[in-house]
Amino acid sequence: MALIEIQTQNEMIWTLKILDRITDALFNEIVNLVESGKGKFKNVPVILEIKYRHIQANELAMLIEVITQNQMSVIGIRSRTQELIDFARLAGLAIFDKTKPSEILQLKHRLPKIVSEEVIHSEQVISKDSDLVLLSSVQADADVIAHGSVSAYRIVQGNVFAGVDGDEKATIFIHSFNAQLVSIAGVYKQFETVPEKLHSRSVVIDLQEGQLRFQII
């Protein structure tokens, strides 16, 4: 019995449906899927649709890590489980729902800007009035800037600015942390040397009582 099902969402985004509990067999099926695709799924943005209702947040974190290691990038989830929704929000992932056709235009301005190319030295990428999703690495001295949240699924060595219009609810997710500077709503932290406990780790950053909070996931 298949444990996952994959379908095209559109030309850019794929939906990966999780139909059963998370086990080694499911992880193996993901690996086989990527290998059989012969590069088709490399760096593609993926929405996780959690159909199996008994998956917990720590299992979702492991699943996202396996998918990322296989060169796909999870940009959001679709789930009815509040624990998973809360975890996804904390991790800077989008929350997707089945939207009525009449609501699509109203939500269009909220769609994230997705950047699949590497952000190189001294380059500046800006996402105005939306979140920013980075599927490739960010080199040192590059700037990535968003009015909303920033989610980066490769190593980040440059500067990350979220909530630049004052949105204190914006978050930053970095899969492999080596940033020079991070900022949310003007509150920033600069690193001459990244602490060992954060270096190359998956980190979520948000604002807690006006201070940046760093959480390793």
State which residues form the domain around 86.
Answer: 4-98
Model pLDDT for residues 104-154, shown as the tens digit of each residue: 333 333 578 899 999 999 899 999 888 999 999 999 999 999 989 999 999
Q: Do 194 and 215 contact (CB within 8 A), yes or no? A: no
Residues 137 and 199 in one domain: yes
Helix H, strand E, coil C: the string for 73-104 is: EEEEEECCCHHHHHHHHHCCCEECCCCCHHHH
Residues 8 and 64 in one domain: yes
Residues 91 and 136 in one domain: no
Pick from 47, 75, 98: which residue ends a domain?
A: 98
Residues 49 and 120 in one domain: no
Pick from 98, 124, 152: which residue ends a domain?
A: 98
Which of 161, 172, 185 has the alpha carbon at shortest distance from 90? 172
Residues 10 and 81 in one domain: yes
Model pLDDT for residues 26-79, shown as the tens digit of each residue: 888 888 888 887 677 777 788 899 988 889 888 898 899 888 888 888 888 989
Residues 42 and 120 in one domain: no
